[in-house]
Amino acid sequence: MMSRSFDKLPKDVISFSEESQISSFPSNGYIGDSSFLSTLKAIDTPPLFRYNKTMEQKKIRAIVTKENFFGESDKYISVFAKDEGKISLLCKGAKKQTSPFLAITDPFIYGDFIYEKSKRNNYLKSVDVIESFPKIREDILKLAYANFFAELINRSFAENVAGNDVMLLLLRCLKFMNSSQNHPSSTACVFILKFLKYMGYMPELYHCCVCGSDSVEDVYTPYGLVCKKHSHSGVLLPERSGDFLRYILENNTPAVLKTNFKESLQLEKALLLSLRTHIGEEMVSYKFIEKVDMR
Ligand SMILES: [Zn+2]
């Protein structure tokens, strides 16, 4: 496999070649100088991928967040990659029954993806699957929630904007849902609140978000909790919801995922107010959750 041969490249050769590129950088170069431009290009290109002259090959660790069928036999997938963010990959022939891509490019496949980059497309070459979350695939409600998390990511990130915190949050929530018997709404509360935090939309949980008073009620608005005086502007939450939200915020994700909050479905609906305000009104995948949730 290509990735293996890349891994074997000795590090000192790479750094030596980088140094030699930089030392040949002309001190009096200007834009019209073609040798200057070619030197600049050589520096921009990562040394690992310089050996293929026509197509640049890249390896990313990523999770599939969306698939789109295209034409007779091809499909596009969106992956969310460590350090790289959202990337679109074309899987040639993926719809054919004999395709090696058939099961390994499904949503929520997590693994190492190797693709070739041309001017128009990124062509998927191979996938080394790390985790496929089979229990999520078997359960329509879990799958609906996983799709909802993925939609939030796809809508909030432009291509090639990294979000490693969000990626790790998604992986931890999927891992938990894959192993847990609980209704996914507690996981959803954790995902939504931490997602809002990482995206810079953290709701205020310690002071009234209208007047700043430090005595807050279990009453929620899109911007956070409010005091008694301003409680007419929000929705009433189940008892101790404020405590649970602060507990989610103050503790690490694997720990808080294990806590099953009894009234999590009501809390999840309240947190949606913040998502609707900051991310957008229409959440297609959430409508599907409401359709399949029999609770
Ligand atoms: Zn207030």
Q: How far is the CA of 222 from the centre of ligand 1 (A)?
A: 14
pTM: 0.80
Q: How far is the CA of 208 from the centre of ligand 1 (A)?
A: 5
Cα R_g (the chain), whole angstroms:
23
| Tens digit of each residue's pLDDT (9 = 90 or more) over 206-244 | 999 999 999 999 999 999 999 999 999 899 999 999 999
Q: How far is the CA of 144 from the centre of ligand 1 (A)?
A: 36
Q: What is the mean pLDDT of residues 34-62?
A: 60
Residues of the chain with CATH 1.20.1440.120: 136-292
Inform me whether the pLDDT recorded for 283 exceeds 80: yes
Q: What is the mean pLDDT of residues 39-54?
A: 48
Q: How far is the CA of 281 from the centre of ligand 1 (A)?
A: 26
Q: Which of residues 118 and 83 earns the better pLDDT score? A: 83
| Tens digit of each residue's pLDDT (9 = 90 or more) over 25-37 | 333 333 344 444 4
Residues of the chain with CATH 2.40.50.140: 56-132
Q: How far is the CA of 211 from the centre of ligand 1 (A)?
A: 4
Q: How far is the CA of 82 from the centre of ligand 1 (A)?
A: 41
Inform me whether the pLDDT recorded for 12 exceeds 90: no
Q: How far is the CA of 267 from the centre of ligand 1 (A)?
A: 20
Give the right CATH number for 56-132 from 3.40.50.2300, 3.90.1170.50, 3.20.20.370, 2.40.50.140: 2.40.50.140
CA-CA-CA-CA torsion sign (256, 163, 62, 15): negative
| Of 7-11, 139-143, 166-170, 257-261, minimum mean pLDDT range | 7-11
Superfamily of domain covering 136-292: Recombination protein O, C-terminal domain (1.20.1440.120)
Q: How far is the CA of 242 from the centre of ligand 1 (A)?
A: 15
